[in-house]
Amino acid sequence: MKFTSSVSALLGCLALASGAAVQMPDPNYKSYDGYKVFRLSFGQDVEKVVGIVERLGLTTWMGAPRAGHPSDIVVSPSQVANFLAEVRGMSYITMHEDLGKSIESESPVSAYRGMV
């Protein structure tokens, strides 16, 4: 009888522990909530774009800017105003108004969030 209740208690603890492990946040997770992605067309002026990216601490989406090719630039919420001031007069479009929401809507995991 004691053995059965000990095994039941152990199984119960394991079930709780596995449930807790599923809900633990990933320490490597980075939220992109509020981030915007701009596609910037700049012709041959690569140095200007690289300077903007470096000055504002931004990242590019698909590698470094290249002459004659548009560059997708990821901009944090705190740098949007600065970025727009820097690219005034240049041609750009907004690829993602909120990158975090775009990622969530495209992620198959989001369908299961209500089940946890």
Over the stretch 12-54, which tens digit does the pLDDT of each residue have? 555 555 554 455 667 777 889 999 999 999 889 999 999 999 9
**DSSP letter string over 81-113?**
HHHHHHTTTSEEEEEES-HHHHHHHH-GGGGGG
- Is this model's pTM higher than 0.85 or not? no
The tally of domains found in the chain comes to 1
Domain-embedded: residue 52: yes
Domain-embedded: residue 97: yes
Domain-embedded: residue 27: no
Q: Which two tokens stand for residue 65?
A: 């800017």
Which CATH number is 52's domain given?
3.30.70.340
Could you read off the pLDDT of 51-83 as tens digits, one per residue? 999 999 999 988 889 999 999 999 999 999 999
Domain-embedded: residue 62: yes
Q: Which two tokens stand for residue 30?
A: 């980075």
Residue range of the domain that includes 94? 36-103
Domain-embedded: residue 65: yes
Domain-embedded: residue 94: yes
